[in-house]
């Protein structure tokens, strides 16, 4: 586990990692940490969370409340309060909503379940600025975009916008269950021993597997290969479209393809 932490912190903005067993559990940790940080530093009124319609963050009660697809939250009684869902890529709406009572903005750099919709670079940059202005933590859910999928090890690196907290799972274990929340020393300090935890997070087998996965996929030649293939696939799809006019839009980033949207576009 220590080897994996060192590898992840050397690769990213983060100083620390909390290991979980899934993407949902990594997001649960991130959301709880953001609230704890804001309450400790500012007070109990700073608990509001901004999220985006069509987003997906997992299936625990907190993450279905934060996710922007009501179908996952319906039928389980009251959801968590203080969560606002805004249209994705609408910076003006986000700027208007982020304020002194906001503790966190959670966003996927490319919406996965929402239709493989990449964020506009200006949207993520604008969120970063608005968060800094109001002392709000910016959480990037990279459960789907992380570990090479978009052609950068994490998608934030390709955008050049650094979050305060990043969550990662799925490809991190390349089929084996492991998730992680990455953050800075300053923020992690609010999860003192006993405040949050899990029995199997960071277990030796999961950590050994993820360590090997990160070693292999962070190789610049592998990431370069993702970018080259992405360009080739998009060029092929464009040629198909020129011949048959079948696509409304060719979306996605790196090797994160858009199956549903493409089908809908047919
Ligand atoms: C962006 C995103 N966040 C969180 C999750 C939840 O991850 P898990 O299924 O490992 O709990 C998913 C799963 O599809 C996801 O795509």
* pLDDT averages per 10-residue partition of the chain, 266 residues: 98 98 98 98 98 97 97 97 97 98 98 89 98 98 97 98 98 97 98 94 97 98 97 92 88 77 41
**What's the residue count for the chain?**
266
Per-residue pLDDT at 94:
98
Is residue 124 lining ligand 1, measured as CB closer than 6 Å? no
Per-residue pLDDT at 263:
43
Tokens of 100: 């002194």
- CA distances 103 to 49, 83, 97, 137, Å, are 6, 10, 12, 6
Is residue 143 lining ligand 1, measured as CB closer than 6 Å? yes
Nearest-angstrom CA–CA distance, 140 and 8: 15
Nearest-angstrom CA–CA distance, 69 and 236: 32
Whole-prediction pTM = 0.96
Instruction: Match 């060192």 to its residue by tokens.
Output: 6
Q: Is 40 a catalytic residue?
A: no
Q: How far is the CA of 141 from the centre of ligand 1 (A)?
A: 9
Burial class (CB in 10 A: 0-12, 13-18, 19+), 71: exposed
Report whether 50 contacts 97 (CB < 8 A): yes
Fold of 2-217: 3.40.640
Per-residue pLDDT at 259:
52
Report whether 122 contacts 91 (CB < 8 A): yes
Per-residue pLDDT at 249:
82
Per-residue pLDDT at 261:
47
Nearest-angstrom CA–CA distance, 53 and 111: 10
Task: State which of 51, 56, 145, 260 you would mutate to test the pocket of ligand 1, scoring each by most atoms of that ligand within 8 A of its C-beta.
Answer: 56
Vertex 242, ends 237 and 246: CA angle to 5°? 70
Per-residue pLDDT at 113:
85
DSSP H or E run through 180: strand 179-183
**What residues contact residue 134 under an 8 Å CB cut-off, 6+ apart?**
98, 99, 100, 102
Tokens of 132: 């800094």
Per-residue pLDDT at 265:
37
């Amino acid at each position: 586990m220590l080897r994996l932490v060192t590898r992840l912190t050397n690769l990213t903005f983060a100083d620390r990692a909390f290991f979980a067993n899934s993407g949902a559990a990594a997001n649960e940790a991130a959301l709880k940490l953001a609230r704890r940080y804001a309450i400790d530093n500012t007070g109990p009124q700073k608990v509001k969370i901004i999220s985006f319609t069509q987003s997906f963050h997992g299936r625990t009660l907190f993450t279905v409340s934060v996710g922007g697809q009501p179908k996952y939250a319906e039928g389980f009684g009251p959801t968590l309060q203080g969560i606002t869902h805004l249209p994705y890529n609408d910076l003006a709406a986000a700027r208007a909503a982020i304020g002194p009572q906001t503790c966190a903005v959670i966003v996927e750099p490319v919406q996965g379940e929402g239709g493989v919709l990449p964020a506009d670079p200006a949207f993520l940059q604008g969120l970063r600025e608005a968060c800094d202005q109001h002392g709000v933590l910016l959480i990037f859910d990279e459960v789907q975009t992380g570990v090479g999928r978009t052609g950068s090890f994490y998608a934030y690196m390709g955008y050049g916008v650094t979050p305060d907290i990043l969550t990662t799972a799925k490809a991190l274990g390349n089929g084996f269950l492991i998730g992680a929340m990455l953050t800075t020393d300053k923020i992690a300090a609010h999860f003192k021993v006993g405040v949050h935890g899990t029995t199997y997070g960071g277990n030796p087998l999961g950590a050994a597997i993820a360590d090997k996965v990160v070693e292999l996929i962070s190789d610049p030649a592998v990431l370069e290969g993702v970018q080259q293939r992405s360009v080739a696939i998009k060029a092929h799809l464009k040629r198909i479209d020129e011949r048959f006019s079948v696509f409304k839009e060719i979306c996605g980033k790196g090797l994160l393809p858009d199956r549903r949207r493409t089908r809908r576009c047919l």
